[in-house]
């Protein structure tokens, strides 16, 4: 190989896309149909049929077209994945598609050869022999390279060079083989497919059948990764084995066996091509969707970076301004204390922003550590309210807690962050000081708590967007509210780490309710906190 390069994430392609049960069943049905047709036609295989040159011309042309289209698809996949095995397979189908052209032109029934070519009587037979040798050898080479160099990828430059080389060398090989088959000087040994057969025929038959049988068995046994491409390659090799078997058994053109082999081969080639076209179209559609999603994420991240940059710039400008005044002016202790408080407030805001960014990234990558313990969710809510909001917003926030809710298993610090983020979000988007209700209740084996506000609300079409990373739902009223949009994505990540679910209900300009549902600890007793938490809708003291 020219270059090895391991890629951690394989590009989505025909070789990396796994098969579905339906696809496997369809392939089995087609394979059984091919075998069934042969079993039914076997007793009549040597019977002479009508001399249908038009059928031969159409079937060969369609088979050639199907092979060339399959080659085009496979070489296109090679350009995208840089896998050398796909270059070999695409070249094999290119060889099959191209060699059918001279095979058709030198057919004994096509008189054009008498006008333009000085061909021997065996030219079409030799071209058929070359095709029957080239296809199984190409498939076996593909299987060998795919098995031993599955993770090998060429560089983009080497991929292009190899593709150019193959598209030149394969037609050159076809031209050379055609010149050999034409045999203008009668150098090749005579081979016939009629009643008179030279001694070479039987060894050649055994060789062809053995080569195709070995190819078919190798495809069944060695293509261990059952991808879309490998599934249909197995069908194609089975059809090739049936084709060669019937052709050799029929011993001549226009017999029943000859017709059956051509029909089977054409049907298999067409079905495989249609299947690959369908899968490539699915991959293309998926790629378009991924590109649209990527463009959307890029826009969101660009907006987010703008917001974060503004937050950093504002805080740093404040810190620099106050620190410069403290350094250059003769201030009394009260002014110094006020400036120090402002600097501390801005530094705390920056620290919180950085911590949010780091926490979200660690949670997304699964690198954050969880400290599991049994938690009384009502007591945790009460503790947060008493320590954080009791003095700042005593009348705005109300509690409606179910005293009989059971404990849950969770990380206390992470769940504290969930509740705090939800309450902060409710306060932020209730600029007129509307009431906020924090409630809890038990629903079967689920602990359900919620935060309800009577603020701006969220448009119905953007309810899912609020939990996306870096996303901010902006409107005319919320555009000037500060924040980075990290709080709710962090909530979702933490809830999902607890095997829970979070969702929001909202009516524009009437308010929103964020619901969190977490699994309850198995066999846990309800918390005995009636004396402190039983009063619904009470104000925080």
CB half-sphere exposure, 2, CA atoms < 13 A? 13
Work out whether strand 436-443 and strand 397-400 pair parallel, antiparallel, or are unpaired: parallel
Compute the average pLDDT of residues 342-357. Answer: 81
Q: Is 512 helix (H, G, I), strand (E, B) or coil?
A: strand
Q: What is the pLDDT of residues 262-296, one digit of tens each?
A: 888 788 788 878 888 887 887 788 888 888 888 87
- Give start and end residues of each alpha helix (H) in 117-255: 123-148, 156-182, 201-222, 228-250
Residue 321 reports pLDDT greater than 90 = no
- 174 domain-assigned: yes
**Same-domain status, 121 and 191:** yes
CATH assignment of the domain containing 318? 1.10.287.130
Is the domain of 66 the same as that of 126?
yes
d(CA 113, CA 101): 12
Same domain, residue pair 251 and 354: no
Structural domain total, the chain: 3
**217 with 240, same domain?**
yes
Both 173 and 286 in one domain: the answer is yes
* pLDDT recorded at residue 179: 87
Give the C-alpha separation, 386 to 394, whole Å. Answer: 9
Please name the helix (run of DSSP H) or strand (run of DSSP E) that holds residue 507, with its range, or none: strand 501-507
* Claim to verify: residue 356 and residue 376 sit in the same structural domain: no
With a cut of 80, say whether residue 457 has pLDDT above it.
yes
Q: Supply the pLDDT for residue 381.
A: 92
Which of these three, 365, 389, 416, is where a domain ends? 365
pLDDT band, residue 470 (cuts 50/70/90): low
pLDDT of residue 390: 59
Indicate whether 384 and 523 sit together in one domain: yes
* First and final C-alpha spacing in the chain: 75
Residues 392-400 have a mean pLDDT of 76
Contact 269, 233 (CB under 8 A): no
Q: What is the pLDDT of residue 128?
A: 83
pLDDT for 165 beyond 90: yes
Instruction: Tell me the backbone φ, ψ of residue 522, rounded to 5 degrees.
Output: -60, 135
Asked whether the beta carbons of 489 and 364 are under 8 A apart, the reply is: no
Using the predicted structure, report yes or no on whether residue 200 has a pLDDT greater than 50.
Answer: no
In the block, tokens 């969220």 appear at: 458
Average predicted confidence (pLDDT) for the chain = 79
**According to the model, what pLDDT value does residue 354 have?**
82
| Burial call 343-367: b when 16+ CB within 10 Å, e when fewer | beebeebeeebeebbebbeebeeee
Which CATH number belongs to the domain containing residue 437 in this structure? Answer: 3.30.565.10
- How far apart CA 402 and CA 449 sit, in angstroms, is 9
If you compute the radius of gyration of the chain from its CA atoms, what whole number of angstroms results?
Answer: 37
Q: Which residues pair with 157 in a beta bridge?
A: none
pLDDT of residue 225: 64
- Reduced to 3 states (helix: H, G, I; strand: E, B; else coil), residue 540 is coil
Identify the top-confidence range among 3-12, 325-334, 374-383, 472-481: 374-383
pLDDT at 529: 41
For residue 468, the 8-state DSSP code is: S
- pLDDT at residue 541, rounded to an integer: 36
Over 70: is that where the pLDDT of 534 sits?
A: no
Same domain, 45 and 30: yes
pLDDT average, residue stretch 250-254:
71
Of 345, 365, 385, which one is at a domain's C-terminal end? 365
Kind and range of the H or E element at 69?
helix 53-81
Domain span at residue 333 reads 301-365
Q: Which of 60-64, 305-309, 383-387, 494-498 has the lowest mean pLDDT?
A: 305-309
d(CA 352, CA 358): 10
Do 317 and 438 lie in one domain? The reply is no
- Domain identity same for 315 and 380: no
Element spanning 517, H or E: strand 511-519
The residue-averaged pLDDT of 422-447 equals 87
- Give the range among 108-122, 324-338, 465-479 with minimum mean pLDDT: 108-122
Element (H, E) at 491: helix 487-497
Q: Examine the domain organization and report whether 447 and 329 are in the same domain.
A: no
For residue 93, being part of any structural domain is answered with yes
**348 and 380 fall within a common domain:** no
Asked whether residue 10 is assigned to any structural domain, the reply reads no
Characterize the bridge pairing of strands 501-507 and 446-453.
unpaired
């Amino acid at each position: 190989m020219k270059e090895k390069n391991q890629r951690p994430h394989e590009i989505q392609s025909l070789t990396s896309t796994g098969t579905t049960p339906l696809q496997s069943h369809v392939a089995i049905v087609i394979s059984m149909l091919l075998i069934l047709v042969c079993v039914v036609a076997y007793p009549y295989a040597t019977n002479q049929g009508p001399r249908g040159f038009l059928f031969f011309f159409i079937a060969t042309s369609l088979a050639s077209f199907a092979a060339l289209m399959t080659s085009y698809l496979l070489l296109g996949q090679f350009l995208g994945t840089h896998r050398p095995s796909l270059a070999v397979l695409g070249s094999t189908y290119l060889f099959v598609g191209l060699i059918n052209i001279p095979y058709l032109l030198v057919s004994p029934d096509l008189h054009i050869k008498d006008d333009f070519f000085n061909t021997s009587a065996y030219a079409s037979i030799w071209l058929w022999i070359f095709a029957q040798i080239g296809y199984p050898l190409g498939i076996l080479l593909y299987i060998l390279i795919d098995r031993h160099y599955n993770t090998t990828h060429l560089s983009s430059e080497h991929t292009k060079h190899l593709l150019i080389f193959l598209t030149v060398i394969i037609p050159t090989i076809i031209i050379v083989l055609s010149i050999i088959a034409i045999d203008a000087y009668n150098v090749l040994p005579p081979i016939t497919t009629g009643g008179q057969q030279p001694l070479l025929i039987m060894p050649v038959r055994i060789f062809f059948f053995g080569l195709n049988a070995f190819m078919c068995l190798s495809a069944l046994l060695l293509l261990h990764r059952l991808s879309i491409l490998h599934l249909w390659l197995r069908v194609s090799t089975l059809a090739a084995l049936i084709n060669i078997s019937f052709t050799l058994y029929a011993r001549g053109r226009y017999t029943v066996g000859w017709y059956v082999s051509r029909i089977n081969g054409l049907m298999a080639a067409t079905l495989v091509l249609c299947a690959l076209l369908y899968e490539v179209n699915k991959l293309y559609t998926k790629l378009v969707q991924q590109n649209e999603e990527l463009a959307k994420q890029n826009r969101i991240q660009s907006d987010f970076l703008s917001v974060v940059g503004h937050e950093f710039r504002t805080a740093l400008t404040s810190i620099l301004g106050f620190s410069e005044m403290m350094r250059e002016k003769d201030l009394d202790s009260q002014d110094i204390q006020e400036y120090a408080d402002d600097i501390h407030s801005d530094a705390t805001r920056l620290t919180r922003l950085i911590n949010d960014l780091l926490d979200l990234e660690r949670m997304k990558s699964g690198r954050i550590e969880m400290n599991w313990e049994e938690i009384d969710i009502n007591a945790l809510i009460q503790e947060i309210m008493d320590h954080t909001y009791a003095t700042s917003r005593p009348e705005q926030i109300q509690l409606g807690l179910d005293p009989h809710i059971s404990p849950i298993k969770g990380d206390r610090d992470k769940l504290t962050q969930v509740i705090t983020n939800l309450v902060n979000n409710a306060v932020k988007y209730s600029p007129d000081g509307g009431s906020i209700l924090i409630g809890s209740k038990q629903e079967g084996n689920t602990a359900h708590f919620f935060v309800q506000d009577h603020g701006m609300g969220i448009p119905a079409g953007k309810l899912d967007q609020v939990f996306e990373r870096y996303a901010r739902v902006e409107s005319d009223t919320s555009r000037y509210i500060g924040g980075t949009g990290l709080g709710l994505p962090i909530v979702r990540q933490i809830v999902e780490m607890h095997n829970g679910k979070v969702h929001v209900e909202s009516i524009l300009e009437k308010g929103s309710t964020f619901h969190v549902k977490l699994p309850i600890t198995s066999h846990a007793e309800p918390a005995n906190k009636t004396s402190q938490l039983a009063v619904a809708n009470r104000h925080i003291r």
